[in-house]
Structure 1
Amino acid sequence: MRTLYSPKECSFLYRVIHPFNFVRNVYETPTNSKDLLCKEETSNRENEQTSDPKGEPTYYQIKSVNTLTNSKTILRLSFKPGMNRHKNFKQTILPNEAVKGLLRALIDLKRTPKDLQNEADQLTEKLSQRRYPASFEEVHKWKKAIADKMREDNESLDPSTGILGEKMQKAWKEELNYRVAQKLKKVRYNWKPIKVRDIEDAAVLALSQLGSYFAEVKLVLEEFDRIKYKPATILDYGSGLGSVFWACYSTWGEKVDEYCMIEPNDILSQFSMDLMRGDIDDSQGLISKKAYFRRTLAPQKTYDIVFLHRTLIEIPSEQERMELLSTLWKCTNKYMVIIESDLRDSFESVMASRDYILMKGYTIDTDRVIKLFEEQNIMNETVEKVIADKEISVKEKYFQLKSMLPPDTTLPTILDPGHVFAPCPHDLGCPLLADDEKKTCTFAVKCNDIRADGKSKNEGTVKHRFSYVILEKGIRQPKRSCSRILEKSSGKIDLSFTNCTPFDGIQNFKIHKKAGSIYKTAKHLRSGEVFPLEDEFLESDSQFNFIQQMLRQPKKDS
């Protein structure tokens, strides 16, 4: 039981935790709200359950722990009406047409399949450790640290003292730049763009990555299959080998009206087209008449789904990456898909892209907003104060101004508003970014191992991990999203889950065998899937969960 609160107190608590506080990495409330929290101890309701007339549990209560704050919560699991498990596939198989197209392309090359495969294996190892280019801030940080160390080791060589001559100062700077470069090689693996100079380079890249890249996209497309969504138009920016096309074509086929692939490298475009011919001759064209290639974006053209698959890492500047995101978001009708590797900096880049789109979608375009209010003849002192207020978050400012406009009036923002469709069940800051253990949110898929030398291992399959996000245009609708399974392991008598929840951070909990039908349902779930059970937070020793529960329940008279 919890104490009841006055409307004034609830108003204060609402301000403390309302999601207008946009990017929040720590899922706890400020300590100054402590006096308003319940002083009574929570009852021990772990493992409580009720049964239907057949004796099967209708819900099951367990103890859950927040991985970031270590706060403990009583969690009630129950079957969600109308919610069924969407079973993801275990392994992907590259379409036969793509395999035949690759074989046809390899036959025409001068180098032997063995040599090509050997180079492909080396490229696979290199790409598995490929890091994002170092930012200007990172280079400056290492440069300053190394310069300070050099000055400490030999103060007489410090150019700032004025003792060194011009030649010695030049030598000192060269030594500094050399040490910085060596340090960055260790922490950033000396990033360089992938260069495809001829058709053999393209073949090596295909042998190395075509199967795994196809598998990544294919698994992500399961999120659209879950809601039975079928796009009419698709854009793949930086299409490379055409893995996005093959994944989409094997899913929707000719139901898609347009497959547009943007690839500035003519050699890669030509090789992709060769793959799309399968085993047919050149005169018959591509396997789909609806697929075409361009070097640049068509002006004013929009697409239902826009893909950025392994593209952001090829752009050396963060500013250029954000500019590209803005451009492509304007080309998006419904969804944008961003896919990168499983390394920490790739995951951070995906999250940075996610937060950039979300933030800019609620950042008002001040000049256009002022003009809109003047045209509506509702510009007043209150509106001016809200526009000028720098203390409130961008999202709170957006909704305050939106409430002052007539219904169905669009409030001008830097970008169109959006929200996360998958895998995150929320638009808050990712709690993994606040974790000192540097964990990543990645997903695994098995794919068939394509080799030119015939030396397949592990029964011809390889396991592959990656990170991704799907952004959907429009404001998130006021309905509870489903949690996402990050990790799942099975014991002799229970199942262990690590779930990302809509509003309660990342939670660890176990489901015992005695949970009956709930256990049977959970037993078949896999990491990466949507959690198909209702997970309701009942009691907690966390201040944040107490406040959240209060806001769900209206004040009652004694």
Structure 2
Amino acid sequence: MRRANFKTSPRMLLISVGRLAGRRALTQLTPCCSRFNHNSSASSENDDQNKAPAEDSESLDDDRQHVFRAYNVITQAKSVVKLEYSQKSIKRFRRDYTLPPEAMVGLRNAVLESDLPAKVLQHDADQLLQQLDQRRFPASPEAVKETRDELKAKLQEDEPHNDIELGDGPIADKVKQAQEYSLRRKVDRIMKKTHFNWKPLNFHNQQTALAYALCRLAPNYAEVARVLEEFNRIPDYVPKSVLDYGSGVGGAFWAIFQKWGNQVESYTSVDVSDIMTQLSMDIMRKYSPVLDTESASPLLHKSSSFRRHLVPSPSATYDMVIVHRTLCELGSRQSRLELIDTLWKRTNKYLVLIDSGLVDSFRTILECRDFLLTEGVHLADNIIPYLQQNNAWTPLIESPLKDKEMSRLEKYALISEQLPHLKLPTVVEPATVFAPCPHDLGCPMVSTMDSCTFDVHYRPVRADCKRYKQERDDGRMATRMSFVIMEKGLRQPGPETIRLIENRTRNRHNVCDVCTAYKGLQRFTVAKSDGALFKMIKARNQGEPLPLTMNVLESNELDFDINEEPNSEGGEFESSDKNPKNSKK
């Protein structure tokens, strides 16, 4: 097939229009923002979009007291806090994440080699995108059965002839069977229109795989690239080996490759779909930027491997394991936790879990997080033989171990303090939250109907040169996600950090919700008169860590763990003030 000249600018990637000898040529594959900012050159555009904002260089005036009134969003407890700049600066995250030009080239060539017109593929992609945006996690069998029973009872009440006695006999039995069959059909039709009609994604041919790549490659890349920004706080960190479980069309690969390139010594993609794996390989192929022909090296990454399942040997471990939008494809809670347990054993340092921004996705991410945190301090059944073998079984150790009123964490902490030279056996290896939580406690949002999700902006890609309805004037779209990065080991002592959860811009002031290490969700107001502090917070995106330390000077909060202890009425926490108001400085 004849190939068209191709510009590698991420804002303008065009494919020629034409029909040669009755054969179709792809009309156009371009980021939807290509109609804007045509006056910039390709090189400057690429540099501007891939360049992260500089580190915060401003500092607060030492002669000013940045003291604010704040209150806990959950407990409504009021406090007086003081904000100070931390000693370690934190690099700001990027505003948007554009798919790398190499990925654009690979996707374009994959679409060109397809037998279907680009408009047909794009139409399928638009239909698939609507389904994926509202894709829910499968409900538990208990919830499905309860819903079916409620629907069945309601339909039976609405039946006009449900009170007629049919009596006994073969004819009456057939009538009852017909009524039962009709009732089941009605219940099935209603259930299919709800999120209880869950089915795993099935990409049975190249057309569905290409449609998925057109609608999800760019946002998938943006989500993983945004999460990888969290590692900016570790200078010179590069994982030597990466496992992408449920790799799909390779969105995580492009985020890893753009951030660390070939510094990653091995990259392993695992996906049960051979069609998706083949398409991912096609997009990863290296093409000449001038002649647009295949070069000698087949893939961009020098050491990439593709598998349908994990390596059977448990000794095959990876510095970083990424699970991106894969947990939704598992049919039960038990299977998800078993997968997390398996992947945690294959993890050397970091396990990255990313899913959509729906509430049930957030609950599942939180469920996996809490599983690793709680089971990581749950002493294994062989703890007593292990201690006896190491000559550490003493009455001082036996007392907390056999105390039934003591929690798992308390037992683990006391025994670890007494035996610092021993690595205690636990159900899973101990874990701590690297991001986004600044703590290992329970999530304060559990008691609310809200979820901890973050928006990520990206430049969408289309094959028909049209626009999405959700697209902004500057050509950007937003995808919402929830994520957690789990790190092996226990949390080490260090400076406390706070994370910006909500940043509401008002007239000459910002209302900020921040997640703290020990004080839950705190809300305070920063005015324009606060100078450098106001400018810094206003420039930060939702979900970014703030280079600040928060010291509580005064508080009327009750002395209990706000993340674990609701009141007797359930749901809400005790508060000394039922109607708090936003307080200004």
Normalised to the residue count of structure 2, the TM-score between the two structures is 0.78
Contact 1:423 1:470 survives alignment (8 Å): yes
1:186-225 residue pairs with structure 2 within 5 A?
186-188=193-195, 190-225=197-232
The within-5 A match list for 1:74-85 is: 74-80=80-86, 82-85=87-90
Does the 8 Å CA contact 1:442/1:465 hold for their aligned counterparts?
Answer: yes
* Corresponding residue number in structure 1 for 2:458: 447
Contact map agreement 1:497 1:509 (CA 8 A) in 2: yes
Q: How far off is 1:474 after superposition?
A: 0.2
Q: How far off its partner does 1:155 sit?
A: 13
User: 1:123-134 residue pairs with structure 2 within 5 A?
Assistant: 123-134=128-139
**Is 1:339–2:370 an aligned residue pair?**
no
* Structure 1 equivalent of residue 428 of structure 2: 415
Q: Which residue of 2 aligns with 1:365?
A: 380
Secondary structure at the residue paired with 1:91? coil
1:431 Cα offset (Å): 1.4
Structure 2 residue 66 is matched with structure 1 residue 60: yes
114, 125, 143: which one aligns with 1:109: 114
Listed as ranges, the matches of 1:195-274 within 5 Å are 195-228=202-235, 229-274=237-282
Q: What's 1:495 paired with?
A: 510
| Closer, same or farther: CA 134–172 of 1 in aligned 2, 3 Å | farther
CA-to-aligned-CA distance 1:383-429 (integer Å, 9 cap, x gap): 44533433222211211232343x32011001000010001111111
Partner of 1:94: 99
- Which deviates more from structure 2 when the two are superposed, residues 207-216 or residues 169-178? 169-178
In 1, are the aligned partners of 2:286 and 2:298 still within 8 Å (CA)? no
CA shift digits 1:118-157 (9 cap, x unpaired): 1101111110011001112211322343455467668997
- Equivalence for 1:277: 285
Q: Which runs of 5+ in 2 are unaligned?
A: 1-59, 288-292, 564-585
Q: Which stretch has the larger CA shift, 469-478 or 194-203? A: 194-203
- Give the number of the structure whose residues are more often helix, by fraction: 1
Distance 1:480 1:536 in 2: 11
Please name the residue that 1:556 is paired with.
none
What corresponds to 2:325 in structure 1?
Answer: 310
- Superposed counterparts of 1:451-490, under 5 Å: 451-456=462-467, 457-458=471-472, 459-490=474-505
The aligned counterpart of 1:142 is 147
Q: 1:186 to 1:68 in 2, by over 3 A?
A: farther
CA change 1:462–1:387 in 2 (3 A) is same
Contact 2:248 2:277 survives alignment (8 Å): yes
With over 3 angstroms needed to count, the CA separation of the structure-2 counterparts of 1:324 and 1:371, relative to structure 1, is: same
The 8 Å contact of residues 78 and 518 in structure 1, kept in 2 or not, is answered as: no
- Counterparts of 1:401-412 in structure 2, within 5 Å, are 401-405=415-419, 407-412=420-425
SS in 1 for 2:365: helix
Segments ≥4 residues shifted beyond 6 Å: 151-158, 162-165, 545-548
Give SS of 1:92's match.
coil
- The share of aligned pairs that are identical, in percent, is 38
Per-residue deviation at 1:340?
Answer: 0.3
Deviates more, 1:83-92 or 1:114-123: 83-92
Q: Distance in 2 between matches of 1:495 and 1:542?
A: 24
Aligned counterparts of 2:481 and 2:149: Cα–Cα separation in 1: 34
> Does the residue aligned with 2:127 lie in a helix, a strand or coil?
helix
Q: Which one-letter code corresponds to 1:223 in the other structure?
A: E
| Distance change in 2, residues 1:180/1:336 (3 Å) | farther
Q: How many residues align?
A: 488
Q: CA shift at 1:545, angstroms? A: 7.9
> How far, CA to CA, are the matches of 1:140 and 1:450 in structure 2?
41
CA offsets 1:435-480 (integer angstroms, 9 cap, x no match): 1xx2111111211111000113534321111111000000011224
The residue that corresponds to 1:30 in the other structure is none
The answer as to whether partners of 2:98 and 2:459 remain within 8 angstroms in 1 is: yes
Aligned-partner Cα distance in 2 for 1:171–1:440: 45
Letter in 2 for 1:145: E
Q: Which amino acid aligns with 1:91?
A: D
Query: What is the identity, as a one-letter code, of the residue corresponding to 2:453?
Result: T
- For 2:536 and 2:302, the matched residues in 1 are separated by 43
In the other structure, the counterpart of 2:370 is 355
CA RMSD of aligned residues (A): 2.7
- Separation (CA, whole Å) in 2 of partners of 1:540 and 1:218: 39
* Aligned partner of residue 490 in structure 1, secondary structure: strand
1:115 and 1:391, CA in 2 relative to 1: closer, same or farther beyond 3 A?
same
Mapping 1:499-514, distance limit 5 Å = 499-514=514-529
Contact residue 67 and residue 83 of structure 2 kept, 8 A: yes
CA gap 1:545/1:369 in 2 versus in 1, 3 angstroms: closer
Q: Which amino acid counterpart does residue 142 of structure 2 have in structure 1? A: E
Q: In 2, are the aligned partners of 1:120 and 1:207 still within 8 Å (CA)?
A: yes
Contact 1:262 1:294 in 2 (8 A): yes
Asked if 2 retains the 8 angstrom alpha-carbon contact of 1:214 and 1:247, the reply is yes
Q: Quick one: which of 428, 437, 443 aligns to 2:441?
A: 428
2:41 match: none
3-state SS of 2:320 partner: strand
Cα pair distance change 1:177/1:432, threshold 3 Å? farther
Letter in 1 for 2:551: E
Cα distance in structure 2, aligned partners of 1:138 and 1:62: 46
